[in-house]
Amino acid sequence: MSIIDGGSTLLLTFEMETSTPLEAMQIRNELLAESPYLSDTVMQTAIEKEEVLPNAMIRDILVANPQSAKSNEVLDELNNRFVPMPEPMMEEIMTGQSQISAKETLEGEIAYHKAKRQDLFYQLVRSYRADSVNPASHDSLIALLQVEVSLKTKYLLAFEYLHDNDTTFVAAVLNAIPTSFSLSDAQAQVYNDYLDYFGILTSLRTEGKSVFELSLNQITVLQNISVAGREPVSSYTRNILLANQLTEYYEPILFPDLTNPAPSKPDRKPDPATSEAYFRLYPNPAKHYTIVDYSLTGLQSPQNQIIFVITNQEGKEMENILVYKQYDQFILNLADFVPGNYICTLYAEGKKIQSQKVLVIR
């Protein structure tokens, strides 16, 4: 989908892999702009770039993509960071497990329409096959399979040509598959099994024989595919062997797979010890941003009037940030700040609690 990762997972991943700490705000803003449609691949790459994207930025990105909390791969990568994600921020990320993200909603809608189209397509295939009255039905089936661009339908088309005893077109369809599709290793193995399978069937048709007139060499090939081949070809060959009473088969009893449980919160490493200060600023000196990391667990403020005020050297107020959480980290964007010293002051109920300096450099 063109909406996922801004249309190119490869490009966005490469951009993060080659990023530097100086580009942290740019990368963060770009990832937030593409949210909530980030793929697991992009989120994992972002988490890996710990030297570029600190915990506060990763938290913002993952919270903006609630599907992250449902991915074992993303959570495992998060748990491998050198600086652990603080517990309260981890809790924010994990709330995504009880949410359905916009990406998941869109993927669900697309999956529904794809499944509906596929169901209608195969209803039409079954209808053409079942029509023994209209002689044009078989031609319509061939035409339908010819225009459908999928690997499965090409094999179905080969079967229809085989039904017509047109072995030339069977070979043409099969030979065109490697150039028409990019086959994975598993698909390539299935393709090779089909070649051997159709090779036996076309040979029997050419010789005017049935599947009950197999040569010893053909039996050996079918036995090998039945044992070591991939589905569905192994089942096709097994059926021929069963019809010739050349094998025995007992239907397996399938049990539910419990080896891949739902994603759970990763084991947390202990949070680093905090000082008596209510907040700290890092990096400091800072270029494009600084992170305000605060803990107000010991600060009493019944009305939650807790404010961070940033002023310049002349005392002019640059930022005024009201906070509600007892612990958090937030990004202070310094893009519009001229180089120099600034004061970050914590106020509670109108009283000054603590101040710290941050030096902005370019």
Domain that holds residue 317: 279-360
Residue 146 predicted with pLDDT over 80: yes
Comparing C-alpha atoms, which of 87, 92, 44, 88 is closest to residue 64?
A: 92
141 and 233 belong to one structural domain:
yes
Residue 232 predicted with pLDDT over 70: yes
Average pLDDT for the chain: 90
Q: What is the CA radius of gyration of the chain?
A: 32
**Angle formed at CA 342 by CA 337 and CA 345, multiple of 5 degrees:** 125
Whether 19 maps to a domain, the answer reads: yes
Q: Average of pLDDT values for 46-74? A: 95
Which pLDDT value is given to residue 268?
Answer: 56
220 and 139 belong to one structural domain:
yes
Task: Indicate the pLDDT class of residue 345, thresholds 50, 70 and 90.
Answer: very high
Task: Summarize pLDDT for 312-337 with one digit per residue, the tens.
Answer: 989 999 999 999 888 999 999 998 89
Task: Summarize pLDDT for 12-25 with one digit per residue, the tens.
Answer: 999 999 999 999 99
188 and 95 belong to one structural domain:
no
Task: Indicate the pLDDT class of residue 273, thresholds 50, 70 and 90.
Answer: very low
Whether 117 maps to a domain, the answer reads: no
299 and 230 belong to one structural domain:
no
Which pLDDT value is given to residue 361?
Answer: 92
Q: Average of pLDDT values for 79-85? A: 92
Q: Average of pLDDT values for 104-117? A: 91
Q: Please indicate whether residue 132 or residue 89 has the higher confidence score (pLDDT).
A: 89
Whether 217 maps to a domain, the answer reads: yes
Q: Please indicate whether residue 124 or residue 258 has the higher confidence score (pLDDT).
A: 124
Whether 307 maps to a domain, the answer reads: yes
Whether 121 maps to a domain, the answer reads: no
Taking the whole predicted model, whether its pTM rises above 0.95 is answered as no
Task: Indicate the pLDDT class of residue 305, thresholds 50, 70 and 90.
Answer: confident
**Angle formed at CA 66 by CA 64 and CA 70, multiple of 5 degrees:** 150
- Domain count for the chain, please give it: 3
**Are the C-beta atoms of 104 and 67 separated by less than 8 Å?**
yes
Tell me which of 99, 123, 154 is where a domain ends. 99
Whether 189 maps to a domain, the answer reads: yes
Phi-psi region of 349 (alpha: psi -120 to 50; beta: other; left: phi over 0): left
Find the CATH number of the domain harbouring 322: 2.60.40.1930
**Angle formed at CA 254 by CA 248 and CA 257, multiple of 5 degrees:** 145
205 and 309 belong to one structural domain:
no
178 and 218 belong to one structural domain:
yes
Rounded Cα gap, residues 84 and 266, in angstroms = 11
Which pLDDT value is given to residue 354?
Answer: 92
Task: Summarize pLDDT for 250-271 with one digit per residue, the tens.
Answer: 888 888 776 666 666 666 554 5
95 and 135 belong to one structural domain:
no
Identify the weakest region by mean pLDDT among 60-74, 205-219, 289-303: 289-303
Whether 110 maps to a domain, the answer reads: no
135 and 191 belong to one structural domain:
yes
239 and 137 belong to one structural domain:
yes
Rounded Cα gap, residues 128 and 122, in angstroms = 10
Residue 206 predicted with pLDDT over 50: yes
Q: Average of pLDDT values for 28-57? A: 95
Tell me which of 243, 271, 304 is where a domain ends. 243
Residue 310 predicted with pLDDT over 90: yes
Q: Please indicate whether residue 275 or residue 108 has the higher confidence score (pLDDT).
A: 108
144 and 237 belong to one structural domain:
yes
Which pLDDT value is given to residue 341?
Answer: 94
Which pLDDT value is given to residue 252?
Answer: 81
Whether 114 maps to a domain, the answer reads: no
188 and 285 belong to one structural domain:
no
218 and 303 belong to one structural domain:
no
Which pLDDT value is given to residue 264?
Answer: 61
Residue 35 backbone dihedrals phi, psi, to 5 degrees? -80, 150
Residue 286 backbone dihedrals phi, psi, to 5 degrees? -130, 155
Task: Indicate the pLDDT class of residue 350, thresholds 50, 70 and 90.
Answer: confident
Which pLDDT value is given to residue 362?
Answer: 78
